[in-house]
A and B are shown apart, each in its own frame.
Chain A
Amino acid sequence: MGRRRHLADAAGALPEAIAALSRSLPAGPSPEIFRRAKFDRPEAAPALWRLLFRVLSLLRADRASASRAPEAQARWVKAALRAQGYPRLGLARLPEDGSQGSRELLLALAWLLAREPLPERLLAQTRVRLGDEMPVCECGALASPGQPAPRVDTAGPVDVRRLQWLMGKLRFRWRNLMASQQEQCALLGKIHAYTRGCHGDRSLGHLSVAETELLRDPEGGRQLLQRLESENARLEAALEWRRRELVFWQWMDTVLGACPPEASQPTFPPRLRGRGRRAGAWGPVAWELQALQEELQAAVGARRAAWAARVGGQGPEWSAARQAAQEAVGRELAALRQAWARGGGRAQPHRPHRLVRTEAGGPGGPGLRAAEVIGVLRSREACLEEMLCQLQEQCRQQLARLAGALPGLIWIPPPRR
């Protein structure tokens, strides 16, 4: 009796859990789709393709792919999953027209859910922002790491003057950005000052642009309210999902059990054309490391020689001191390695902060002070300027060496600022 009740409970809990999951995700399908997917029914496939596409494109912040046809979407989903390291080959073999494979897709969704808190992450990305925010983290918002998107429109080879022109254009844009940014800050300051005392929340004290805008424009305000309310609904669904998800995982176990195990993949002969495509992304890193290695080699060589000439007096205290020195340096270098290993900058505040105007010298509540952030930024600016100067100096030296090798010419550098 108890067992039957337990089963009945479980039977009821599962659809509720899936329903909660569905509500917390964007474009979530009904629990019925999930059930059909377990039995690999074809009609469940399109909904799952759409869901995966939506989820993955949100995760990768890839807006460009929004308007693709279903087949293109399916291909994109496969590539994106593969890039994340999705292990099952069954997904790759699915036809892209959405006619079958719902069980495989269900497994893919579960895989994504198991690896990270998916609903929360998606919600955080599409979060309704009520305040005026400024990012505080150290990610370069302008610098794009990795390869830039390949462009199809580049014609043939260009002259170096085109590069100069593009650089000039870039500098101009930077100046514009700076001016616009200053104006925006002035306006923000005014708006914050003029609406002092209006916010219900004492720690905030004044309204943000979004809030003032909602007062000015009731239609926009209604929309904002709607978005807030739907986000609240999704948040509640996510909380419910967290409470109930165990039963989902137990069920997924059965789904996985129902699949036949995949044959391990036969080895393919390596395709040569893959090589060239990747080379571009590695160029700068490899080049830098090699340059660094050469410089170190030269420096070490010189110092070794100098040291060998100096060393005398090989007493017993010498070897003890040498040992100590080696250990100390070893520790220091190990600590240095930690700096780029998996820890990195994760601990730092990574989210944008809401701007709040306070009285100068006031007690101020919890929150980061602008003065501190300014200090940090100044030191970072100095560091980066230093790095840029060094790079430029490196180039200057290298070019000077070249110039030296070409007799009969006088190189007159531009006057230093």
Chain B
Amino acid sequence: MLPLGCSRRLVAELQDALDTCAERQRQLEQSLRVSRRLLRAWEPAETPTPEPTPGPETNEEAPSPACTPSPQDLKELELLTQALQKAVHVRKGISKAGERDNASSLKSGSIATSATTAAAPHRASQTKLPRGTRQATRPAKGLPKPRLLSAGDQTCAGRGPLAAKPGPGLRDPQKAPSAAPQAPEAFTLKEKGTLLQLPMAFRKAASQNSCLWAQLSSTQTSDSMDATTSSKTQFLQKMQVTSGWPSSRLSAAEVEAEVGRLQKACSLLRLRMEEELTRDPTDWMQEYRGLLTLEGLQAIVGQCLHRLRELQAEVVEQQLGPWPEERPPMASLPCGGGADPTWSPQLLLYSSTQELQTLAALRLRVDMLDQQIHLEKVLMAELLPLVSMQEPLGAPQLALCRAVHSLLCEGGQRFLTILRDEPAD
């Protein structure tokens, strides 16, 4: 058995590592669920369709139909559409909206679609259609519903109760419900993904969002607010002066940051030392420089150790005063871009799935190596002293040696063998 303190610390470290992995796995699984669902056939309820763009807004032709029905169907639908147009004309009279509506409905009418899938829809969605002022303008704010529904509405209007009411009426929920259910062709991203279009409201909000962020980050950097900055600094100083706590003390956050720096220093110094030791000096000058470098490194390491001890003493001293004992665990800085508020959207371009997979795999490998190295150091710090301390050659001690060797030197994957070399009697 390992000593108590050592056990606790090691188990805590390993458990922490396990928890971090579990959390990451959980997030991955969530994304996987979403992605898998997107790649399956979407429920007919959610069939999106191309958005026949409203005339005044853009001049883009509506994208090609979601699915290509048979020529027969096409003809039928065209006839139907023409009939509808006439009806609409008669009903609506000549109004701008009406015209536009017809124009766009014409376009959409010519987009023959499996009217049934369009028909199947949701009245609910219909009612939620354009809350906007212009009835002519297509899809609702935030309602990424099948645009084609409206087209379908018009084409199907013949089937259901003739809801050939003017303009909005055409999109009236009352419609064409269950017309002949042809086998609804389910929407899959693979076949029809290129026909999708984001809703207008969303696009507006997204572009406003990036615009605002850009403005915000430019005000950060412009720093034309010297008056503000100086009044802030003054305020901080005044606060320090009027407070009872001496300002020379370091805060816990600063201490942790410095310990982190010392850790980094240690690895860099070690790297440099290894480099120097493996170098073969060719002449005396190089040899001398090597010697000086090593001595310099030694001095720096001494200084680092000294600083570490100073920090330790400082922290111990700070454990006093009226502040509460509870110390919130220092969460590692969330690196999700939170550290840097000046945001301009940065892109990472990849050209093939293979490349993306390589990239992600490397990232994961680097993270895993980081974690492994951290664990290795912790295990070394705790286990090596244990093994070197005790003398007796009893079996439990040897078993411990063997286990420690495997953990530290082979990543816990392979074991060495210890044989007792007894002279034959």
Indicate if the CB atoms of A209 and B351 lie closer than 8 Å.
no
The reply on B86 being an interface residue by CB < 8 A is no
The reply on A9 being an interface residue by CB < 8 A is no
Indicate if the CB atoms of B335 and A289 lie closer than 8 Å.
no
Which of A157, A178, A333, A368 touches B346 (beta carbons < 8 Å)? Answer: A368
With A169-B18, A265-B244, A289-B308 as contacts: A256 and B239 at CB distance below 8 Å: yes
Nearest opposing residue in chain A for B257, CB measure: A342
Indicate if the CB atoms of B4 and A156 lie closer than 8 Å.
yes
Which of A159, A307, A369, A392 touches B1 (beta carbons < 8 Å)? Answer: A159
Indicate if the CB atoms of B332 and A374 lie closer than 8 Å.
no
Q: Which 4 A-B pairs have the closest CB atoms?
A: A85-B251, A274-B319, A367-B347, A189-B353
With A139-B335, A154-B11, A410-B418 as contacts: A353 and B25 at CB distance below 8 Å: no
Task: Count chain A CB atoms within 10 A of each CB in B34, B259, B284, B305 and give the residue with the most.
Answer: B34
Instruction: Give, as a whole number of angstroms, the nearest-CB distance from B249 to chain A.
Output: 8
Instruction: Give, as a whole number of angstroms, the nearest-CB distance from B414 to chain A.
Output: 4
Indicate if the CB atoms of A111 and B239 lie closer than 8 Å.
yes
Indicate if the CB atoms of A124 and B337 lie closer than 8 Å.
yes
Instruction: Give, as a whole number of angstroms, the nearest-CB distance from A294 to chain B.
Output: 10
The reply on A7 being an interface residue by CB < 8 A is no
Which of B6, B220, B298 touches A117 (beta carbons < 8 Å)? Answer: B220
Bound form: Cα–Cα A371–B32 in Å: 25
Which of A114, A149, A169, A395 touches B384 (beta carbons < 8 Å)? Answer: A395
Chain B residues 1-51 with CB under 8 Å of chain A are: 1-4, 6-18, 20-22, 24-25, 28-29, 31-32, 34-39, 42, 46, 48
Bound form: Cα–Cα A392–B274 in Å: 15
The reply on B162 being an interface residue by CB < 8 A is no
Indicate if the CB atoms of B366 and A189 lie closer than 8 Å.
no
With A189-B356, A299-B294, A368-B348 as contacts: A221 and B199 at CB distance below 8 Å: yes
Instruction: Give, as a whole number of angstroms, the nearest-CB distance from B283 to chain A.
Output: 11
With A121-B341, A181-B360, A303-B290 as contacts: A341 and B335 at CB distance below 8 Å: no
The reply on A325 being an interface residue by CB < 8 A is yes
Could you say which residues of chain B place their CB within 8 Å of the CB of A284? Answer: 263, 377-378, 381
The reply on B238 being an interface residue by CB < 8 A is yes
Bound form: Cα–Cα A163–B337 in Å: 35
Q: List 15 A-B contacts (CB under 8 A).
A: A89-B322, A92-B324, A121-B341, A123-B341, A242-B225, A259-B242, A283-B9, A292-B273, A300-B291, A325-B289, A336-B272, A339-B264, A356-B350, A358-B350, A391-B373
Chain B residues 198-255 with CB under 8 Å of chain A are: 198-199, 201-203, 205-206, 208-209, 212-213, 215-216, 219-220, 225, 227-228, 231-236, 238-240, 242-247, 249-254
Could you say which residues of chain A place their CB within 8 Å of the CB of B369? Answer: 381, 384-385, 388
Could you say which residues of chain B place their CB within 8 Å of the CB of A117? Answer: 220, 341
Which of A177, A337, A381, A412 touches B416 (beta carbons < 8 Å)? Answer: A412
Could you say which residues of chain A place their CB within 8 Å of the CB of B11? Answer: 151, 154, 158, 162-163, 166
**Interface window among A29-37, A42-50, A343-351:** A343-351
> What is the interface size of chain A, counting residues whose CB is below 8 A from a CB of the partner?
229
Bound form: Cα–Cα A243–B108 in Å: 48
Is chain B's binding surface mostly helix, strand, loop or mixed?
helix
Chain B residues 388-425 with CB under 8 Å of chain A are: 388, 393, 398-401, 403-422
Chain B residues 305-354 with CB under 8 Å of chain A are: 305, 308, 312, 315-317, 319-324, 326-341, 343, 345-353
Bound form: Cα–Cα A130–B378 in Å: 39
Indicate if the CB atoms of B349 and A370 lie closer than 8 Å.
yes
Indicate if the CB atoms of B412 and A171 lie closer than 8 Å.
yes
Could you say which residues of chain B place their CB within 8 Å of the CB of A322? Answer: 288
The reply on A97 being an interface residue by CB < 8 A is no
Could you say which residues of chain A place their CB within 8 Å of the CB of B212? Answer: 232, 235-236, 239
Could you say which residues of chain B place their CB within 8 Å of the CB of A78? Answer: 323-324
Indicate if the CB atoms of B336 and A370 lie closer than 8 Å.
no
With A120-B216, A157-B7 as contacts: A282 and B371 at CB distance below 8 Å: no
Interface string of A194-232 (1 = CB under 8 A from B): 111111100110010101111111100110110011011
Indicate if the CB atoms of A292 and B46 lie closer than 8 Å.
no
Indicate if the CB atoms of A256 and B189 lie closer than 8 Å.
no
